[in-house]
Chains A and B, each alone.
Chain A
Amino acid sequence: MVHHQPALLFLCSSGGMDVIFTLQGDPSLFVASAASQLLVHMLTFSLESETSKALSTKDYDWPACAQMIVRHIQESLQSSSASHMEQSLKLLSSLFGSCFGSCYAAWTEVLWLDIAKQIESFLLEEAVPAQPLLASLLLNVARSPVFCGTEGSFWALVTSALEHLTPVQAGPLAVGLLKLCKCPQDVRIQALTVLLQPMDCILRAASQPLECAGLLDESVSDPGTVESLLSSKTTCAGLLCQTLAHLEKLLSLKHLRVDLPCVSLLRSLMTILQFCNGFLSPTSPLGSTISRNLINCCRVQKSALDVLAALSEEKDCDTLIGSLFDVLLAYLQSPNTSPTVLKKTFQATSKWLVHVQELSCSNSQWQQTEKILEDVFVVLQKRLCSPCWEVRDSSLEFLTAMVKCLRGQKEFRQCLLSSEVLRLTENLLEDPESYVRASAVTAVGHLALITCFAPESPLTGNQYNKENIVAKLQEILSTDSEGFPRRAVISIFTKWLREGCTGQLEDTEQFVSRVIQTVERDLDWEVRLGGLELVEVFCSQTICQLSQCPYAPVSSAVTSSTPQKELLQVFCRAKLFGFLFGSLCDCDKPVGQRACDVLVGLRGHFYPVSTLENPQEVEDSPAGRGIAWLQRTLRQGSLAQNFPRDGGGGVDFQNPESMMLALGAIDLLELHDELNKSSDHVEESPQSLLQDILATVGTIEDNEVDCY
């Protein structure tokens, strides 16, 4: 309605505005928020539709509707009612965050000048009201192009907010400011200081009084506030978790326009982690209080480990690596470390191990690296035997992560091969927990790249030979009762194929053929989808090899003068087509789509692209009749029952000529469109989601309204 001027006028003249103003305070948050959004739309639209312009900040004339809203905002801001004031701040925040802030620069400035004094007075009050709203408002205003310049009272106000808001409320504002490109550098530094204050306090609290080696030279707001927040059991963990989450966000930014004091930050993180496991005995009373608040606090441990992992990509932390690994190993070794914290510790450890490896490559300090790796493998062996499946699972994930990053390093391979880890990992292929089996499959798959697929495989003997491992994983693929391990197997097979581990073309063909025959009967659609991915990789590799792709090594086995024919023969022998055409009728849409994509790709290889839109006519021959049957069957899509892959219906999926014909005749593009239209495009709509929610919670008047 508010996209129509008469409606807007009606609302303004009929008292409708007052109703909307009142609805901002509705007990239902949905209604209140909708009312606020509506006012934002109305104000923006009234500016759009009327000709009045803000010529300068002194010479302006709000359109009637906008004027009502602005007056309401001003009155509410000055009102003694806290709820009115909050509603007004919310509205302002939404307004500046909407296209109003970015498209109506002059009006933005006018409105801001109208309210700036009031906002400033809020900040100067002893107890700053509605702190989160003020922070969000200032951030939204800061994002507006109006305040591009570094001069001006606005940034002074932002600085004042950083000083006066509590550290918890100032945090989101500070992160927002640090992400802005146009924020003045001094404000940016202020913002960073606010974020680092709790970390600084931790460092100071942990050190001897004389050392006082903090992280900051000076603080923005009263350091006493941070100290008292960290001293209280109820606020300590909250403030640290928030700060750590902000720091992690900053570390993930590609271009941070301020320098993070990474070394001190790392030291502070290590201190937090040591407080949490009770390994640090602080001498200051503040340190003792913080230590007491943090002991066994999993939330803080997890957040700190996240930041620690992110920090591994920063430079200059090398001097602390020894003590950092002491902390990480203490966590890995302690039986008191909870499974979730252990998982995070593993993640941080694997990231830092990569860093240590890089470092030792450059400074040749292999001894330290070897010692760390030895310690890590000892604890990994123990963790792989844990009775807690989560621990076994994250240990395997950690092992996989290490193999991925470090398999090229000699020291790593030596440590790995001299440990019990290989044997333990293989045992876990039979773990009773399916997640663990899946992780074990992935780990074994990656380990095989070191143990048996490497050209200079260091291990001999039966246990780690290629055939045994392939057979073991094949067995899991065909017999495991749970989907996760089977999915893991198929993705490992695809990885092996990509990395060229499956041998010469003949071996690969047989391997793929065996896998396809297992996968096509799988009840899990993700496994079938994984099978199609394997087929896709196989096709592209074979095409590359047989078509003498300039980048592919020429296989001596390929002597045929007609590579196309040879290709088709290979694909038919590998029984690809039965699987691909059968998958077109799969009851799970993604499988059908993927199969269609692969077939479109193959057709593109065997036929000129121009023929794709004009499929060939089918001749009236036995082969042609088979193809016609196939066309009919494919049109039924997933309704086609018992798709015969073994030549039933007159189609011989292993006959190269027939398949060539089928690729040319079947309208794959049409099929592709059909598959895209299948049922779940309806199911994924927001409306469907709402219906699901209502169906789950049961429809009663209240939630229907809220859901609406």
Chain B
Amino acid sequence: MLDCGLDMTSTLNFLPLPLVQSPRLSKLPGWVLKDGSTFLDKELKECSGHVFVDSVPEFCLPETELLDLSTVDVILISNYHCMMALPYITEYTGFTGTVYATEPTVQIGRLLMEELVNSIERVPKAQSASMWKNKEVQRLLPAPLKDAVEVSMWRKCYTMPEVNSALSKIQLVGYSQKIELFGAVQVTPLSSGYALGSSNWIIQSHYEKVSYVSGSSLLTTHPQPMDQASLKNSDVLILTGLTQIPTANPDGMVGEFCSNLAMTVRNGGNVLVPCYPSGVIYDLLECLYQYIDSAGLSNVPFYFISPVANSSLEFSQIFAEWLCHNKQTKVYLPEPPFPHAELIQTNKLKHYPSIHGDFSNDFKQPCVVFTGHPSLRFGDVVHFMELWGKSSLNTVIFTEPDFSYLDALAPYQPLAMKCVYCPIDTRLNFIQVSKLLKEVQPLHVVCPEQYTQPPPTQSHRTDLMIDCQPPAMSYRRAEVLTLPYKRRYEKIEIMPDLADSLVPLEIKPGISLATVSAVLHTKDNKHVLQLPPKPPQPPASKKRKRVSDDVPECKSLKPLLSGSIPVDQFVQTLEKHGFSDVKVEDTAKGHIVLLQEAETLIQLEEDSTHIICDNDEPLRVKLRDLVLKFLQKF
């Protein structure tokens, strides 16, 4: 299984979970059907024309109908965003396999999960809505609830014990490490340049190579650069995780982010940045480190609030080997690779596990707050939205591309604060993909259907799709694809003593042949040719043989045959031997020789010859010998 991401957009259909009871949210009117029925008014609330489920947010799990996840042997994880569904799989499906991921992926993935669990568990909700999920009821609901898919499969958030159990099934790997899977294939993670420890995977046998390219980036940000060279010579390249906002150039967006931040703060407003606790935030802090002095913002406090804020900032500094070259060299100076260490030291950046406690004592305005969750449905961000939403001096700046900012803001409407959308997605865009494919030249590209056509809202942007030769094979949800390659060869090892016994014959310069008589031993998808067992020795004693000594009975070796049978000559031979009524028929694969009187049939094909005669063993043997005359024996 390649990755197991969690679709969190389902949470957008739910009301936010405020830390303290919000009078505004609790006063929202219940939703009433057109016919006046009010049976759903406890479950569904209406806010500025949108309907939300008033319950603990639920998540949409990976496809479970299509295959039995307990039969999955291995899960390969590309980056920490792509493992958020792991506890649902390892804990609920009977999964007994192994998960492979790099160390930073696991550590930061744990932080993301911990933040998620913490944000939801700390505000328990007594009420749980399920009536709306009834198919008959769902049909009556307004969009987007009406169109939500597989709502019955939506699940509440997992718990920390489940997270711990899931993470314990992960086996850590390093870049370029070769991992044997059951002898059948070898998998290798490669740096993908997108996030700390993010990987692309190569899955290869001796003769075939499949590359799985997930979230990758060619930009110079903090992680180790993408390893492109190792992707060359792939038979199939599975491409996914491209940028979600192909029209937004990350550099331009960072500029936009800084300008809007500065303008808001200068006017006395506060800036709220809903974000994940790891990833782009490191780059944003680095950018702000360089920018705040030039923009005269040195005295403005920056707050990073997350239950895992401290761990995230500290972890980033210790994963030196997973960082880009510049940052790696800093470690040897020795300096912290990320400048946020200096921001913390100079008190410009302060981090808190939550808004309780120290934060409320230190809190000064105007300020900039980085906090989660980007969906605006849970986490401390909900509190700040309620607090600052009423003033037009404040600004919320969306930097994470995973959620539609308009949908995220819907339950907060009407909103006076300014909203700025600066999605910073450093993953590959279509120009970079096109260069990458030219560089690595895979024989076939397989990708989601969405990448093979322009975005629906910009149908004229034919530059925003994958353009490669041969055209990419696309897939859609729940579609089963046959990858366009055949496994034709297997590597077989010859044991040294067997190899020693071979007598090669040079049949033409440079090519020698030898007949091999051996036993093919296959175990764990490894094939070995061993010397055939010696004929059984007469028992040395009358002692009863032990079972374990029992060697397989060795039949007398049949000669190996080669060559082809010329039909005309064969017919002549048959006639010489008294078969007068020989008739030859041509078939698609060869010929059929009919001996009408004897009611016998000889099928001559390229790779097989069959003699079909009923209960006449002497005839069969006679015919067999005639056939054998035309073939060489080894």
A and B found bound together: yes
**A positions within 8 Å CB-CB of B:** 278, 280-282, 288, 291-292, 295-296, 334-337, 381-383, 385-389, 391, 420, 423-424, 427, 430-433
Contact B252 A420 (CB under 8 A): no
The residue on A at minimum CB distance from B294 is A432
Question: Are B459 and A385 in touch, CB under 8 angstroms?
Answer: no
Chain A residues near B459: list those with CB within 8 A: 281
Q: What are 20 inter-chain pairs, A to B, with CB distance below 8 A?
A: A278-B247, A281-B460, A292-B462, A296-B431, A335-B249, A385-B258, A385-B259, A385-B263, A385-B295, A386-B255, A387-B254, A387-B290, A387-B291, A387-B294, A388-B255, A389-B294, A420-B266, A420-B267, A432-B293, A433-B294
Q: How many whole Å from A81's CB to the nearest CB in chain B?
A: 38
Please, which residues of chain B bring their CB within 8 A of the CB of A282?
460
1/0 contact string of B453-475 vs chain A (CB within 8 Å): 00000111111000000000000
Q: Judge whether B116 is part of the interface by a CB distance below 8 angstroms.
A: no
The answer, yes or no, to whether B248 is at the interface (CB within 8 Å) is yes
Contacts of B566 in A (CB 8 A): none
Cα distance, A383 to B431, chains bound together (Å): 27
Contact of B255 among A278, A296, A335, A427 (CB under 8 A): A335
Task: Give A384's nearest chain B residue, CB to CB.
Answer: B259
Q: For B267, what are the chain A residues with a Cβ–Cβ distance below 8 Å?
A: 420
Q: Does B287 contact A (CB under 8 A)?
A: yes
Residues of A within 8 A of B249 (CB): 335-336
Q: Is B296 an interface residue (CB 8 A)?
A: yes
Question: B594 an interface residue at 8 Å Cβ cutoff?
Answer: no
Q: A336 to B287, alpha carbons, bound, how many Å?
A: 18
B258 adjacent to A386 (CB under 8 Å)? yes
Closest-by-CB residue of A relative to B292 is A387
CB distance A382 to B290 under 8 Å? Answer: no
- B262 at the A/B interface (Cβ < 8 Å)? yes
Would B263 and A420 count as touching, CB distance under 8 A?
Answer: yes
B263-295 residues with Cβ-Cβ distance < 8 A to A are 263, 266-267, 287, 290-291, 293-295
B256 interface residue (CB < 8 Å to A): yes
Chain B 348-377 per-residue mask, 1 if CB under 8 angstroms from chain A, else 0: 000000000000000000000000000000
Q: A278-B247, A292-B462, A387-B291 are in contact. List 20 more A-B contacts (CB 8 A).
A: A278-B461, A281-B458, A281-B459, A295-B463, A335-B248, A335-B253, A336-B247, A336-B249, A382-B263, A385-B259, A385-B260, A385-B295, A386-B255, A387-B259, A387-B290, A391-B255, A420-B263, A430-B296, A431-B294, A433-B294
Please tell me if the beta carbons of B463 and A292 are within 8 angstroms of each other in the complex: yes
On chain A, the residues within 8 Å of B458 by CB distance are 278, 281
Return chain A residues, CB-CB under 8 Å to B51. none
With A381-B263, A420-B266, A420-B267: A387-B255 Cβ-Cβ less than 8 Å: yes
In the complex the two chains form, is B252's CB within 8 Å of A337's CB?
Answer: yes
Residue of B nearest to A275 (CB): B460
Contacts of A280 in B (CB 8 A): 460
Does B422 belong to the interface (CB within 8 Å)? Answer: yes
- Across-interface contacts of B260 in A (CB, < 8 A): 382, 385
Ranked nearest first, the 6 interchain pairs of A and B with the lowest CB-CB distance are A335-B252, A281-B460, A385-B262, A335-B256, A385-B259, A387-B258
Interface of B is mostly: helix
CB distance from B16 to the nearest CB of A (A): 29
Interface centre among B248, B254, B461 (most CB of A within 10 A): B461
Chain B residues contacting A334 (CB-CB under 8 Å) are 252
Q: Is the CB of A427 within 8 A of B296?
A: yes
* Residues of B close to A430: CB separation below 8 A: 296
Bound together, the chains give a CA A116 to CA B296 distance in angstroms of 71
On chain B, the residues within 8 Å of A389 by CB distance are 294
User: Smallest CB–CB gap between B599 and chain A, Å?
Assistant: 68
> In the complex, what residue of chain A is closest to B265 when comparing beta carbons?
A385
- Residues of B405-437 contacting chain A, CB below 8 A: 422, 431
A337 to B256, CA, bound (A): 11
CB neighbours of A296 from chain B (8 A): 431
State how many angstroms separate the Cβ of A373 from the closest Cβ of chain B: 19
Closest to A389 in B: B294
CA–CA, A336 and B266, complex, Å: 24
Which chain B residues border A427 with CB–CB below 8 Å? 295-296
Contacts of B259 in A (CB 8 A): 382-383, 385-387
On chain B, the residues within 8 Å of A387 by CB distance are 254-255, 258-259, 287, 290-291, 294-295
Chain B's nearest CB lies how many Å from the CB of A505? 38
Q: For A288, list chain B residues within 8 Å (CB).
A: 460, 462
> Within B233-259, which residues are at the interface with A (CB < 8 Å)?
247-249, 252-256, 258-259
A296 CA to B266 CA, complexed, in Å: 33
**A291 and B460 in contact (CB under 8 A), knowing A335-B255, A382-B260, A387-B255?**
yes
CB distance from A163 to the nearest CB of B (A): 33
Name which residue of chain A comes closest to B462, CB basis: A292
Report the separation of the CA atoms of residues A433 and B290 in the bound assembly, to the nearest whole angstrom. 12
CA distance A386 to B291 in the complex (A): 9
Nearest-Cβ distance from residue A294 to partner chain B, whole angstroms: 9
Known contacts A387-B291, A430-B296, A432-B293; A336 and B248 CB within 8 A of each other = yes
Chain A: minimal CB distance from B490 (Å): 44
Q: Tell me the chain B residues, 297-330 only, with Cβ under 8 Å from chain A.
A: none
Cβ contacts under 8 Å, B460 to chain A: 278, 280-282, 288, 291
How near does chain A come to B455, taking the closest CB pair, in angstroms?
11
Q: Max chain B CB contacts within 10 Å: which of A336, A385, A389?
A: A385
B461 partner residues in chain A, CB cutoff 8 A: 278, 295
Distance of B250 from chain A, by nearest CB (Å): 10
Give the distance in Å from the alpha carbon of A292 to the alpha carbon of B434 in the complex: 14
* A382 closest partner in B (C-beta): B259
| B293 and chain A: residue at smallest CB distance | A432
Q: A386 to B295, alpha carbons, bound, how many Å? A: 9
CB distance from A282 to the nearest CB of B (A): 6
Q: Which residues of B contact A278 (CB under 8 A)?
A: 247, 458, 460-461, 463
B418 to chain A, nearest CB (A): 12
Cα-based distance from A337 to B259 in the complex (angstroms) = 15
List chain A residues, Cβ under 8 A from B295.
385, 387, 427
| CA of A388 to CA of B291, assembled, Å | 9
CA distance A336 to B422 in the complex (A): 11
Report the minimum CB–CB distance from A287 to chain B (whole Å). Answer: 8
Residues of chain B lying within 8 A (CB to CB) of residue A291:
460, 462-463
Tell me which residues across on chain B come within 8 A of A385, comparing CB atoms: 258-260, 262-263, 266, 295
Chain A's nearest CB lies how many Å from the CB of B234? 26
Minimum CB–CB distance for A278 against chain B, Å: 6
Q: Mark B95-121, 1 if CB is under 8 A from A, else 0.
A: 000000000000000000000000000
Closest-CB distance, A212 to chain B (whole angstroms): 19
B125 to chain A, nearest CB (A): 39
Q: How far is the CB of A646 from chain B (nearest CB, A)?
A: 40
Closest to A383 in B: B259
With a cutoff of 8 Å between Cβ atoms, the chain B residues found around residue A383 in the complex are: 259
Complex Cα distance A389/B291, Å?
Answer: 10
- Residues of A near B294 (CB, < 8 A) are 387, 389, 431-433
Which residues of the other chain, A, contact B263 by a CB distance below 8 angstroms? 381-382, 385, 420
Q: Which residues of A contact B248 (CB under 8 A)?
A: 335-336
B461-496 near A? 1/0 per residue, CB < 8 Å: 111000000000000000000000000000000000
Enumerate chain B residues within 8 angstroms of A336, measured Cβ to Cβ.
247-249, 252
